Structure 1
Amino acid sequence: MSDTPQVLLAHHLKALRLPTFLREYDKLARQCAAEGVDHSRYLLRLAELEMIDRERRTVERRIKEARFPAVKSLDSFDFAAIPSLNKTLVLELARSEYVTRRENVIAVGNSGTGKTHIALGLGLAACQKGLPVGFTTAAALVNELHEAHDEKRLQRLQRQLAGLKLLIVDELGYVPLSQTGAELLFEVFSQRYERGSIIVTSNLPFDEWTGVFGSERLTGALLDRLTHHVHILEMNGDSFRLKHSRGQIVEEQPPQEPD
């Protein structure tokens, strides 16, 4: 019978979804008793542990749901290698307040300059704020939209995308879109206008986007919506990947024999 309170307490804490309470209450009770801490401060410590653990689990869930191809933080980005990039603006964006204001971010620059890394870093920062984030490439999103359209579930997919506070669309411009694909992607962007934030990365300047969407009218309407509330990150410079490859080639070359 002496174990009954503990059994019932464990049952209730599980039902209330308080796993940290369940795991820590006994150990913390002994610690607080040894320190002479009163019951209210004991409960406060337990509640704080539960809150911290719950926030950690929320962040982990958000990161998993975002479907990042890799988890990268801004701490590991080499800002010195891309002088054209406004580091102050990027660090300000990492606070994720632009998401609350439903503003957009467009990172434009030649290939290999770290646009995806920046997008992933900003996405991770938003997840750490507990915000729902989704990551995809433009080509993958268009394919997904095509499939949903053909399978009569387009509206459901559109609702799922609309539920994201931040949608990251990587590599816009790498693959030209069909007319239907361009219209489907435009619809996604249009539905998010002033309702949710978008991060877009592209290797093309804006005046070349018509070649991707195949229509000046559609491109103009898209840019009008995307750039109404926007932060533009210019990322032109030498390719990180090319630099790395060159460095490896130099390291792997055998030393030359003297003539």
Structure 2
Amino acid sequence: MDNYAKELKLPVMRFELDAMVELATRQEWSYYRLIRELLEKEHENRTEKRKKQKIRRANSPELKYLEELDVKKLPKDAQVALNELETLEFIREGRNVVLYGNPGTGKTHLATALAIRACEEDMTVLFTTVPRLLTQIRECRSQKKLTQLERNFEKYDLVICDEFGYVSCDKEGGELLFNHLSLRAGKKSTIITTNLAFNRWNEIIKDKVLVAAMVDRLTHKAFIINMTGDSYRLKETKKSWLICKIRNNKLLL
């Protein structure tokens, strides 16, 4: 029995069969119910494994969950949009989300938490930074593997492109990024996090026409969320500094 279950990849049958049979005997289950219960547990086990695998493959730098968000500390735009975003309808509708504002206000946390929720809903997700994506595009192009990269990029239900605006790119880089993101436009959902308002994107990509086209393509029917506010990290730093100061003062007394 154990060999069959191992070969067929049925862990519940391998490790829980005796306990399930004992329970079925005590409660006088029919054979039909016992089989159904075993299959249900196998299904639950595989579903849970698949979710964890999708979260791992999403390549998120951290595991951040929507439940961990302190909603009251989010910028007002995010507070208003959160109820709709967490339903994930924007992904099913292929709508983009642009989170813009100063560093430390929860842009990456919110994007990551939505990505994790999408994985839990059995969606396929990719988390990347814009600099990393550009490097990958260039490498695949030089290795003549760009077509495969583009095909894979198109298929994800959700792509998070983090940190747009931290590193500038030349005209070629801007064109490569525009072409790559355009593959998903109107069909699949992309979340962009950026520290720059749209009128400053030409600081990163010098071609004004290209910037205008990129903004137009990314913002069509998108959620545009202003994440400008007080920095979480700065608050935590000030809080830690204050605690240390209080402790030091106590030691001096």
The TM-score, its normalising length taken from structure 1, stands at 0.90
| Paired letter, 1:106 | V
1:3 matched residue in structure 2: none
Q: 2:220 matched to 1:255?
A: no
Shift of 1:256: 9.0
Shift of 1:255: 2.2
2:119 matched residue in structure 1: 127
Counterparts of 1:197 and 1:20 in 2: how far apart (Å)? 36
Shift of 1:161: 1.4
Quick one: which of 146, 150, 162 aligns to 2:142? 150
Q: 2:136 matched to 1:136?
A: no
Shift of 1:211: 1.9
Q: 2:229 matched to 1:237?
A: yes
Counterparts of 1:216 and 1:81 in 2: how far apart (Å)? 35
Shift of 1:157: 1.5
1:167 matched residue in structure 2: 159
2:102 matched residue in structure 1: 110
Which deviates more, 84-93 or 176-185?
A: 84-93
| Paired letter, 1:29 | V
Deviations 1:83-106 (A, max 9, x none): 423325223322222211111111
Shift of 1:184: 1.1
Counterparts of 2:79 and 2:17 in 1: how far apart (Å)? 45
Counterparts of 1:145 and 1:217 in 2: how far apart (Å)? 22
Shift of 1:252: 1.9
| Paired letter, 1:102 | G
Counterparts of 1:26 and 1:98 in 2: how far apart (Å)? 45
Counterparts of 2:193 and 2:91 in 1: how far apart (Å)? 17
Gaps in structure 1 of 5+ consecutive residues? 1-5
1:12-91 correspondence runs (5 A)? 13-91=5-83
Quick one: which of 215, 220, 235 aligns to 1:228? 220
Given that residues 79 and 85 in structure 1 are in contact (C-alpha distance below 8 angstroms), is that contact kept between their aligned partners in structure 2? Answer: no
Q: SS at 2:144's partner residue?
A: coil
Given that residues 72 and 79 in structure 2 are in contact (C-alpha distance below 8 angstroms), is that contact kept between their aligned partners in structure 1? Answer: no
Which deviates more, 58-67 or 203-212?
A: 203-212
Shift of 1:50: 1.2
Q: 2:112 matched to 1:94?
A: no
Quick one: which of 189, 198, 201 aligns to 1:206? 198
Deviations 1:117-166 (A, max 9, x none): 00100000000011110101111111111111222211121122122111
Counterparts of 1:156 and 1:233 in 2: how far apart (Å)? 32
| Paired letter, 2:93 | R
Gaps in structure 2 of 5+ consecutive residues? none
Q: SS at 2:77's partner residue?
A: coil
| Count of equivalent residues | 250
Shift of 1:257: 11
2:183 matched residue in structure 1: 191
Counterparts of 2:69 and 2:116 in 1: how far apart (Å)? 13
Shift of 1:62: 0.3
Shift of 1:213: 1.9
| Paired letter, 1:127 | C
The TM-score, its normalising length taken from structure 2, stands at 0.92
Counterparts of 1:256 and 1:35 in 2: how far apart (Å)? 64
| Paired letter, 2:168 | P
Q: SS at 1:213's partner residue?
A: coil
